[in-house]
Amino acid sequence: MTHMPVDSPSRDRIIHPATDTLDLATVMRAVGDPLRLAIVRLLADGKERTCNDLQQALGLPASTGSYHLRLLREAGLTHTRPHGTQRITSLRRADVEHRFPGLLQVLTR
């Protein structure tokens, strides 16, 4: 039997909070760390990035980068999707803008 295609619905899903459950204090706490704020700003150009991209850009060990990316994802700021052996992270621009209008502007100007 051949392998499942990339991004198959049958693979373990990465959990993302629903847009309308995002909590402002939780989001603020997430970006209240300089490293995580830097990640959000890197992602603000709308391009997707692998974990490695972000870890390299900030000079972090893999486990540390993974930890911070998890907090951003759980706060609802980012979306991560599997792609082969990589995971690709992007800013949840529309969702965050919908839930907290103006916030991204504040974070990224």
**Segment 10 to 29, residues that bind its own copies, using CB under 8 A:** 24-29
* Cβ distance to DNA smaller for residue 62 or 98: 62
**Segment 38 to 97, residues that bind its own copies, using CB under 8 A:** none
Amino acid letter at 109?
R
Looking only at the bridges linking them, the beta strands covering 49-50 and 86-91 are antiparallel
3 binds DNA (CB under 7 A): yes
Please pick, from the candidates 17, 35, 93, 108, the single residue that binds DNA as defined by CB under 7 A.
35
107 binds its own copies (CB under 8 A): yes
Rounded CA separation 59/77 (Å): 21
95, 29 contact by CB (below 8 A): no
Nearest C-alpha neighbor of 63 from the set 51, 74, 75? 51
62 binds DNA (CB under 7 A): yes
* Site residues for its own copies per CB under 8 A: 24-34, 37, 100-103, 105-107, 109
